[in-house]
Amino acid sequence: MLSTVVTTVQNGRDVRQLPALRLLPTLRLILALALTMHLLCPFSGAQEPSHPSAMPDAPSTSQQQQAKPGTGMNTMQNGAEFISLLQRGSIVFPNLATSTAPLSPEQKLKLAVNNSVSLSAFVAANLSAGVNEVHDEPAAYGEGIGGYGKRLGAAMARRSSSQVLGTFLLASALHQDPRFFVRNDLGLGGSIKYAIRRVFITRGDSGDREFNWSGLLGMMGSEGVANVYYPDNYRTATNTFSRFGYDMLGNAGGNLLRQYWPRINRRLKLVPTTTSASSGPTKH
């Protein structure tokens, strides 16, 4: 049994908790996300209507045209998902889908680069650096503006490597679509469930739902790469899986913001959109 954490004072500063005890919140986080995935996983036969095949997250025009005129309303009532496609690409969230057409490997590479340098990436990296600055992690980076700069650089590097691995390399090899498809048929509760589910379930280039191997392995791989440039005492398995757990949590939160971003931006007119050249024409 783990003993109670005892905080000692050394040279006026608190000594960190034992690594084994620091792992407990991370394990609870990963278990909670895994339980959520199990409850929300759309592959469960009990949750799906009795159709020959599951509807993709972003149905193409050809699939919509296959429905008979007299059964269109029944199809929608049986759980067809209404996808909101942006007319132009988003500067803040470049991975918001503007088309249902699959991306080529070159387009996935461009998307990975755009995701790495987007406004949302910069804001997220600063939030991560700020939290780590407060907790003085990694401690070897020190404090003040110098330590904050190192933490910000590490956060940006982690995101960039995650994008290269997940959005480009793995998504291309596994033929998965790394974009986020906004649904406009959901309330707040449904949007929260959808945001969490999209951490684990993605859309294949074929349009079918698939387990999000590219996204999850991309995040895990980026944390492994981070151990190359993080201080020695921050390369433990505890810290690596802890960062991976917070990556999944941050991804779910980011998905919820992506879900509402078109409506937020349309109402507040915060950031102009830009013409998208990465999605290609819509399938017919």
Is residue 49 domain-resident?
no
Backbone angles phi, psi at 51, to 5 degrees: -115, 160
**Is pLDDT above 80 for 48?**
no
46 within some domain: no
Residues paired with residue 204 on neighbouring β-strands, in sequence order: 176
Peptide bond into 52 cis (omega under 30): no
Relative to beta strand 182-183, strand 13-14 is unpaired
Dist. CA 22–CA 137, nearest whole Å: 13
In a domain, 188, yes or no: yes
Q: What is the pLDDT of residues 79-135, one digit of tens each?
A: 456 787 877 788 899 999 999 999 999 999 999 999 999 999 999 999 999 999 999
Residue 274's pLDDT is what? Answer: 57
- Chain centroid offset of residue 65 CA: 31
Q: Considering its fold, how many domains does the chain have in total? A: 1
**Secondary element (H or E) of residue 177:** strand 176-177
Residue 50 in any domain: the answer is no
Asked whether 27 and 35 are in contact (CB, 8 A), the reply is no
For residue 134, being part of any structural domain is answered with: yes
Give the structural domain span for 191: 55-68+79-268
3 domain residue, yes or no: no
| 11 domain-assigned | no
* b/e map 146-173, b = 16+ CB within 10 Å: ebbebbbebbbbbbbbbbbbbbbbbbbe
For 180-196, how does the pLDDT look when each residue is reduced to its tens digit (9 = 90+)?
A: 999 989 999 999 999 99
Tell whether the model's pLDDT for residue 271 goes beyond 90: no
pLDDT digits (tens, 9 = 90+) for 213-252: 999 999 999 999 999 999 988 999 999 999 999 999 999 9
Q: What pLDDT sits at residue 83?
A: 83
What integer pLDDT is reported at residue 90 of this predicted model? 84
Least Cα distance to 217 among 248, 238, 249, 242 occurs for 248
Q: In angstroms, how far is CA 19 from the centroid of its own chain? A: 27
> What's CA 10's distance to the chain center, in Å?
40
Share the mean pLDDT of the chain.
76
**Would residue 21 count as lying in a domain?**
no
